[in-house]
Amino acid sequence: MPEASRDRIDSASDAELLAAAQVSLNQHGEVLRGLGRMFADSGHELYLVGGSVRDALLGRLGSDLDFTTDARPEQMQEFLRGWADAVWDTGIAFGTLGVAKGQDRLELTTFRADTYDQVSRHPEVRFGDNLADDLVRRDFTVNAMAVRITPEGPAEFLDPLGGLAALRAGALDTPAEPEVSFGDDPLRMLRAARFVSQLGFTVAPRVRRALEEMAPQLGRISVERVAAELDKLLLGTDPVAGVDLMVASGLGDVVLPEVGAMRMAIDEHHQHKDVYQHSLTVLRQAIDLEDGEPDLVLRWAALLHDIGKPATRKHEPDGGVSFHHHEVVGAKMTRKRLRALKYSKQMVDDVSQLVYLHLRFHGYGDGRWTDSAVRRYVTDAGPLLNRLHKLVRADCTTRNKRRAARLQANYDDLEHRIAELAAKEDLARVRPDLDGNEIMRILGIPAGPQVGQAWNHLKELRLDRGPLEHDEAVEELVKWWNEKGEPRV
């Protein structure tokens, strides 16, 4: 790693961080030297900055690299086009160019010294002329470090705001007063929760106070930007910590109020303080069941699966609490919230369907489901079946070891039943034994609603009884038609 420009360097801990950064940056040495040469030849400064420096110090630098420079966008365009594999100028109004070079994706931004009116969502873009002003306007000190890039590669580590000490301590603090930083861009408050999830950091006391006082200002931010941060938070290594900070600070009341509302509902099994804590446990257990890569759909479903409980809570005469049909109400609430956040139709459908189905298994009992019930379970889940398996298993949070073992054994049995049926018939695509053309030919009817009704009737038979022989399917179709009193043509 290049020589550090600060004197306050802990010789042991910081040396280890700087060594990790050196290893990370060496993997991009050719690109860094090429960039450094071009900018130097053009008479401009260039610095690796922000999350790229932070991640290099943590030994987790990827292929996305962020830079800042005194060069203006139009100047960069002139000398980058002949060197880069591709250049994108979609962010040029904000002083940013995107560049592809080999496997690396680079973002180069002119020094910024933006001003905000503390009301609107967008800053008045103003270019700066020095690195210090650019760093002090960044969100957190751990993202306000820089590495000067020269023709020889990384040359100097710059930390004017104490980012390395904050990184060593695992603390999130703002370069300026947090009220100023969050007033400039309220999304930074949600980003704090995201970094808690991604990096395992904690927020400084003054940052926590500012989050609590300024949470309502998050309403100034577009839902698209909010949704992007929520996804990054949920995909972090410890989303439970990020969600908990979001809810406890009041940010959740603005962007995801249904989650915090679960703190008001007592879980019917009394194994947690409230449904909110139960849901965080389910989220944690669902993550443990993932197959390698983080599963955003599963994580959203785990977090939201019980949001219908506060609205369905009922105190029973015996002193207990019930939440009848909370899965139905919760699915509707999930759909409404995700639509408000402008998620894709597929995402909305998938998460809400998992919420709707998460209790279905509890009617299984001790293996008393018929084959028809198993078929319907698989058909209703469709391509979400594997996720549903994980969600149902994660939803078992009882501290009663016998009950937990029984629930897991029952689900093992259900999965075995599914596998047995799948070996005999195509459970992935349960369809009627006669198609639309055959239905029209047999009944002598044209295409129209009656064909759909007949198709649905045959599908119900298929779910109830499994595959039928062709003649048997024809017989059942004609019988149904005659019972309807419809004349055959």
- Tell me: the pLDDT tens digits for 301-339? 999 999 999 988 887 787 677 788 899 999 999 999 999
Res 439: pLDDT: 79
State how far the alpha carbon of 318 is from the alpha carbons of 264, 314, 315, 322, in Å: 20, 11, 8, 11
Confidence label for 6 from pLDDT (cuts 50, 70 and 90) = very low
**Residue 439 shares a structural domain with residue 387:** no
Is residue 236 pLDDT above 60, yes or no?
A: yes
**Residue 411 shares a structural domain with residue 437:** no
Is residue 272 pLDDT above 50, yes or no?
A: no
**Count of alpha carbons within 13 angstroms of residue 137, beta-carbon side:** 19
Summarize the confidence of residues 63-79 as an average pLDDT: 93
| Least confident piece of the model among 38-47, 442-451, 456-465 | 456-465
CA-to-CA distance for 468 and 458, rounded, in angstroms? 10
The answer to whether the predicted template modeling score (pTM) of the entire model surpasses 0.85 is no
**Residue 357 shares a structural domain with residue 406:** yes
More confident call, 487 vs 261: 261
86 is a domain residue: yes
- The domain tally of the chain equals 3
**Residue 341 shares a structural domain with residue 464:** no
Is residue 124 pLDDT above 80, yes or no?
A: no
313 is a domain residue: yes
Q: Which helix (H) or strand (E) holds 322?
A: strand 321-322
Is residue 62 pLDDT above 80, yes or no?
A: yes
Res 155: pLDDT: 87
**Residue 318 shares a structural domain with residue 461:** no
Expressed as residue numbers, the domain containing 470 is 431-483
Picking from 118, 144, 169, the residue at the C-terminal end of a domain is: 169
Picking from 390, 406, 428, the residue at the C-terminal end of a domain is: 428
CA-to-CA distance for 31 and 51, rounded, in angstroms? 18
- Tell me: the pLDDT tens digits for 136-146? 989 999 999 99
More confident call, 171 vs 451: 171
Q: pLDDT > 70: what percent of the chain? A: 89
Picking from 145, 169, 193, the residue at the C-terminal end of a domain is: 169
- Tell me: the pLDDT tens digits for 349-371? 999 999 999 998 887 655 577 88
